[in-house]
Amino acid sequence: METCIFLEHGEKDTQIVKQVKNLYQALKANDKEAIAKILADDPVWDVSPGFPYGGVYTGMAEIFGSFYSKLRSQFSGFGATPETFIDGGDVVTVLGFYNFDSNQDNSTKFVRFSHTWKINDDGRIKGVWQVADTAQFIF
């Protein structure tokens, strides 16, 4: 799939945008130490209904021990490619796409997403509200 950036957003990286970018890099690298420094003590992942294992996950154990472990069991590989970062003051909205490699038929699905990250006063990430093209997950 060829992707292009639909929304050109020329804003320079602010401190909170840099923090969100650091989180995407730490998640991709599975750097648990960096992730723990970037996230607030009890982060919340609010994952769209219809998305695999959609629901609300609170705390590191639920997010990484439950949500991501279930997701990894369903797909042979997945990742997030953020494209546009929009600083909203105490939130950063990110537009991009996921790529999922199916265990069932060896296909790759590309799924658009919007992540809105809430930032604490101390600059740590409190959590995410995730919306994705869940129709892509009908098997």
**pLDDT tens by residue, 7-21:** 555 567 899 999 999
What is the set of domains in the chain, with CATH numbers? 15-137 (3.10.450.50)
pLDDT of residue 12: 75
pLDDT of residue 1: 38
Dump pLDDT digits (tens) for 19-72: 999 999 999 999 999 999 999 999 999 999 989 899 999 999 999 999 999 988
Q: Give this prediction's pTM.
A: 0.87
pLDDT of 4 > 50? The answer is no
Using alpha carbons only, what angle is made at residue 49 by residues 46 and 52, rounded to the nearest 5 degrees? 90
Six-digit token pair at 85? 């970062």
Q: What percent of the chain is helix, strand and coil (3-state, nearest 5)?
A: 30, 40, 30
102, 76 Cβ separation under 8 angstroms: yes
Instruction: Tell whether the model's pLDDT for residue 73 goes beyond 90.
Output: no
Tokens matching residue 58 = 């609170």
C-alpha to C-alpha distance for 39 and 19, rounded to whole angstroms? 10
DSSP state of 25: H
